[in-house]
Amino acid sequence: MIPPHGGKLINRLVTNREREALIAKAATLPRVALNDVSLSDVEMIAIGAYSPLEGFLTRADYESVLTKMELANGLPWTIPITLGVSKEEAEPLKTGQDAALVDDTGSLVAVLHLEEKFSWDRDREAKLVYQTTERKHPGVARLDTVGDVLLGGTISVVNRPPHDDFQPYRLDPLQTRQLFQAKSWRRIVGFQTRNPIHRAHEYLQKCALEVVDGLLLHPIVGETKSDDVPASVRMRCYEILLEKYYPKDRVVLAVNPAAMRYAGPREAIFHAIIRKNYGCTHFIVGRDHAGVGSYYGTFDAHKIFENFDPEAIGITPLFYDHSFWCKQCEGMATVKTCPHPETERVTLSGTKLRELLAAGKVPPPEITRPEVAQVLIEAMAVKG
């Protein structure tokens, strides 16, 4: 089994007497409210999905991630995992002491063992992480909702964020690793998605299945853009596809509770590391991975891996070009395998696809499986 990032699967969930003591102590502590993204980050830290992180970044790690794409100890890490508060909220918080982290209902989630408070520059982080300071970028826009002071330190999670959805699919890294071992899978490929799977995605996954033992289909169900397809709709699409078109003994469907950052190439590395922690040995990186708009080059998410020692990343990326249905080939292909002109390729832009679905029209089967299209049409009708 592939080792977690940093060599140890982190577990910040406290139990029994330690949990009871922290709950009692939390009643006397200053409180910090978590937004949806920070709540997702707390859960990802707690279950080891962000291994080796044990809490929110301190200044040294934060600066190193921004400028070098690695933690202060030299381990690759590309996305700053931070907790921000206003100057007024930061005032009563003392370094070396604890603070209670609560959700939007005021319920206790975790205790932060505060090591540092430090200021940060939004535009600097935006430029280094997202390659733009435009507020039209959803990741950059989110930075404006983060407070002026960042809190660094380890966390102890006493009450895991509750979920009443996707229960059969909420598998932690320890559970997926145990499942892969039970299946005797040694080579596992992970696939990141925030969208319903279309034929191009299906093609990439099945190509990868030719060289590995199993596939972890791992959609994000944390915070995404408001115009992204809701997680419940996406999950129904995945269930239908797996039931009808995939070998049942070679695919595991599990949800990823992280929030999307839309950080393009940096997030491709981040997503690969997360899947490594879940036990994957390989990771599919498609065209414009984790991209949004035109902020990143088509294959920047492939090129960024060249900046890292493969052994330090520890998971093997599988790079794929844009795929499509070719009329002459009579099947799925990419520009690497198809010699025919673009006029022979069946493709639809995301905008055109949404227009068809909104009109209740089923896209060509070369683009989307009819069963998936029907789920999307029904969902758009309800939304409308």
- Do residue 297 and residue 194 come from a single domain? yes
Residue at which a domain ends, from 96, 129, 157: 157
Domain-located, residue 51 = yes
CATH number of the domain that 176 lies in?
A: 3.40.50.620
Domain-located, residue 132 = yes
- Do residue 148 and residue 270 come from a single domain? no
Q: Which residues are catalytic?
A: 194-195
Domain-located, residue 109 = yes
- Do residue 106 and residue 69 come from a single domain? yes
- Do residue 139 and residue 114 come from a single domain? yes
- Do residue 179 and residue 248 come from a single domain? yes
Residues of the chain with pLDDT > 90, as a percent, come to 84
- Do residue 359 and residue 288 come from a single domain? yes
Residue 263 is predicted with a pLDDT of 96
Domain-located, residue 1 = no
> Can you read off the two tokens belonging to residue 85?
């508060």
Q: How sure is the predictor about 135, in pLDDT bands with cuts at 50, 70 and 90?
A: very high
Tens-digit pLDDT profile for residues 213-263: 999 999 999 888 777 788 899 999 999 999 999 999 999 999 999 999 999
Tens-digit pLDDT profile for residues 289-300: 888 989 999 999
In total, how many domains does the chain have?
A: 2
CATH number of the domain that 47 lies in?
A: 3.10.400.10
- Long-range CB contacts for residues 64-67, cutoff 8 Å, separation at least 24: 66/124, 66/125, 66/128, 66/129, 67/128
- Do residue 201 and residue 332 come from a single domain? yes
> Can you read off the two tokens belonging to residue 381?
């009708």
- Do residue 126 and residue 226 come from a single domain? no
Residue range 334-348: mean pLDDT, rounded: 92
Residue 227 is predicted with a pLDDT of 75
Residue 351 is predicted with a pLDDT of 64
Domain-located, residue 11 = no
Residue 110 is predicted with a pLDDT of 98
What is the rounded average pLDDT for all residues in the chain?
94
Chain Cα centroid distance, residue 222: 8
> Phi and psi of 107, rounded to 5°?
-80, 140
- Do residue 214 and residue 358 come from a single domain? yes
CA distance 14 to 289: 35
Give yes or no for residue 196 having a pLDDT over 90.
no
pTM for the complete prediction? Answer: 0.95
Residue 7 is predicted with a pLDDT of 98
- Do residue 175 and residue 111 come from a single domain? no
Residue at which a domain ends, from 92, 126, 157: 157
CA distance 117 to 94: 8
Residue at which a domain ends, from 157, 184, 201: 157
Strands (E) across 23-62 are located at 31-33, 55-56
Residues of the chain with pLDDT > 70, as a percent, come to 99
Range of the domain at 201: 167-256+260-383
Residue 379 is predicted with a pLDDT of 87
Tens-digit pLDDT profile for residues 261-275: 999 999 999 999 999
> Can you read off the two tokens belonging to residue 384?
């409308």
| Spatial contact of 250 and 157, defined as CB atoms under 8 Å apart | no
Domain-located, residue 6 = no
Three-class SS state of 265? helix
Q: Which amino acid is at 109?
A: V
Give yes or no for residue 349 having a pLDDT over 70.
no
Report which of residues 49 and 367 the model is more confident about: 49
Q: How sure is the predictor about 384, in pLDDT bands with cuts at 50, 70 and 90?
A: low
- Token pair 């990032």 in the structure block, residue: 5
Cis upstream peptide for 52 (omega within 30°): yes
- Do residue 368 and residue 231 come from a single domain? yes
Residue 112: closest CA among 179, 170, 41: 41
- Do residue 289 and residue 364 come from a single domain? yes
Residue 383 is predicted with a pLDDT of 67
Domain-located, residue 76 = yes
> Can you read off the two tokens belonging to residue 300?
């920047």
CA distance 384 to 375: 14
Q: Measuring CA to CA, how many Å separate 106 from each of 31, 47, 55, 110, 162?
A: 9, 22, 20, 12, 13
Residue 84 is predicted with a pLDDT of 98
Residue range 342-354: mean pLDDT, rounded: 80
Domain-located, residue 374 = yes
Residue 134 is predicted with a pLDDT of 97
